[in-house]
Amino acid sequence: MKNNTDNLYDQYKDHDFKQAKSVAEIPALAQLQSEASGKSRITIRVDNEIINTFKAKAAMNNGNYQTMINDALKQFLQGETLAEVVKKTIKQELAR
């Protein structure tokens, strides 16, 4: 760790955290972290084709496939169809 002027760094710089548990291993901390971020960590089974497509699109756009999936789910919940999203995107691009 680099030398730092942060008070917390100074307070804990000599502590050995090798045996420390991760936040995920402490349910109360994991819940606090989840609530603070506004997102939840989940496990979901998705077809490989779907994941691979999102990953490929994310790589082409220097994006994050998980963010793209989250955005797609939001659009679905808002009732937007793929056709509507395409139309909206085309209109935005033509307006430039």
- Number of structural domains (the chain) is 2
Do 33 and 52 fall into the same domain?
no
Helix (H) or strand (E) holding 92: helix 82-94
Q: How many helices (H) and strands (E) does the chain have?
A: 5, 0
pLDDT score at 1: 46
- What is the reported pTM? 0.52
- The Cα–Cα gap between 24 and 27 comes to 7
Over residues 19-34, the pLDDT tens digits come to 888 888 888 888 888 7
Q: Is 54 found in the same domain as 31? A: no
pLDDT averaged over every residue in the chain: 85
Q: Residue 9 above 90 pLDDT?
A: no
Q: Which domain holds residue 28?
A: 7-37
Give the distance from CA 82 to its chain's centroid. Answer: 22
Q: List pLDDT tens digits, range 48-89.
A: 999 999 999 999 989 999 999 999 898 888 887 778 878 888
